[in-house]
Amino acid sequence: MNLQPHRTSPVPSAAAPLLAVRNVEVVYDEVILVLRGLSLEVPRGAVVALLGANGAGKSTTLKAISGLLKSEDGKVTRGDILFDGQRIDGIDPDRIVRRGIFQVMEGRKIIADMTIRENLRLGAFTRRDHEVARDLDMVLDYFPRLRERSGLAGYLSGGEQQMLAIGRALMARPKMILMDEPSMGLSPLLVKEVFSIIRRINRDLGVTVLLVEQNARAALAVAGYGYIMEQGKVVLDGTAEALRGNEDVKEFYLGGAGEQRKSFKNLKSFRRRKRWL
């Protein structure tokens, strides 16, 4: 089983990773420490899952990478974030988009009083080429349900809005998409469909994906590697197969360990969880 305690360079590769987060600390409002020496790597062309409970720092990690911390009085106070070999921590979000990173926000964040096509074109706001119309057709081929819909985006179902948010990201022609809780508020059937689309985008277009998700089972089904965060730091990482087989991961994130699910109130389970921190 390829499972190990967290280390600084967790994904062995002959090539440099597309994204490297190195010993990063993030502070909000100049006093609240949220990330505490976080390190992770995402290889080019991979799907990597970032898992953890509410408040672990997963969304903050994505915002540190995409530059959106600035909108929330957050700041990277220590460490480096490198994308394609260049530091991106501290630069403006629009410049990060131009470098090739696009974040799909938690809760979709579509523009409800704009049409589907207007929302999609919004994703291409940094582009100056003449292939936007062609890419719009490509996105609608990936999401035929969106092609069938007319009217304002606010009338779409939750699953369709998630598809629209992913399609808007594709319109930027990203090298990497950061996805924040794509399964939130969706039925099990729609969750399966959305994760199937994520797999297709990665396979067909070669887009690298860093996936933040509380549905650990769904995330590890599509990812090749995963990290688990607790209290602002990575406490465990390994291949998706190894994480799925780990008893602690089963207990705390996959709904049970061994043959029986254990309660978080159980003292033994609590002590096992504490050893990660």
> Which residues are registered as beta bridge partners of 20?
41, 82
**115-138: per-residue pLDDT in tens?**
999 999 999 988 888 899 999 999
Is the residue at 272 inside a domain? no
Whether 268 is in a domain gets the answer no
Rounded CA-CA distance 88/96 in Å is 7
Calculate the CA 4 to chain-centre distance.
22
The confidence band for 77, taking pLDDT boundaries of 50, 70 and 90, is very high
- pLDDT, one tens digit per residue, over 19-69 is 999 999 999 998 899 999 999 999 999 999 999 988 899 999 999 999 999
Would residue 114 count as lying in a domain?
A: yes
pLDDT, tens only, 244-253: 999 888 888 8
Residues 6+ apart with CB under 8 A from 67: 88, 91, 92, 93, 95, 96
Q: Read off the DSSP letter of residue 271.
A: H
The mean pLDDT of 147-157, rounded to a whole number, is: 89
Q: What is the pLDDT, as a whole number, of residue 272?
A: 54
Task: State the average pLDDT over residues 191-206.
Answer: 93
Number of structural domains the chain divides into: 1
- pLDDT of res. 129: 85
CB atoms within 10 A of CB 126: 15
Residues 6+ apart with CB under 8 A from 12: none
**Is residue 256, in this structure, part of any structural domain at all?**
no
Is the separation of the CB atoms in 138 and 171 below 8 Å?
no
**189: in domain:** yes
Q: Which has the minimum average pLDDT: 7-11, 74-78, 102-106, 142-146?
A: 7-11
What integer pLDDT is reported at residue 8 of this predicted model? Answer: 42
Are 176 and 62 a contacting pair, CB within 8 Å? no
Domain of 33, CATH number, reads: 3.40.50.300
pLDDT of residue 103: 94
β partners of residue 229? 52, 234
d(CA 121, CA 110): 12
- Confidence at residue 115, expressed as pLDDT on a 0 to 100 scale: 94
Whether the predicted pLDDT of 233 surpasses 50? yes
Instruction: Establish how many alpha carbons lie within 13 A of residue 111's alpha carbon, considering only the half-sphere containing its beta carbon.
Output: 12
The reply to whether 177 falls in a domain is yes
Q: Is position 65 within any domain?
A: yes
Average pLDDT along the chain: 86
Q: What is the extent of the structural domain holding 178?
A: 3-245
> pLDDT over 90 for what percent of the chain?
64
Q: Residue holding tokens 């598809």?
A: 163
251 is a domain residue: no
Looking at residue 244, its pLDDT comes to: 92
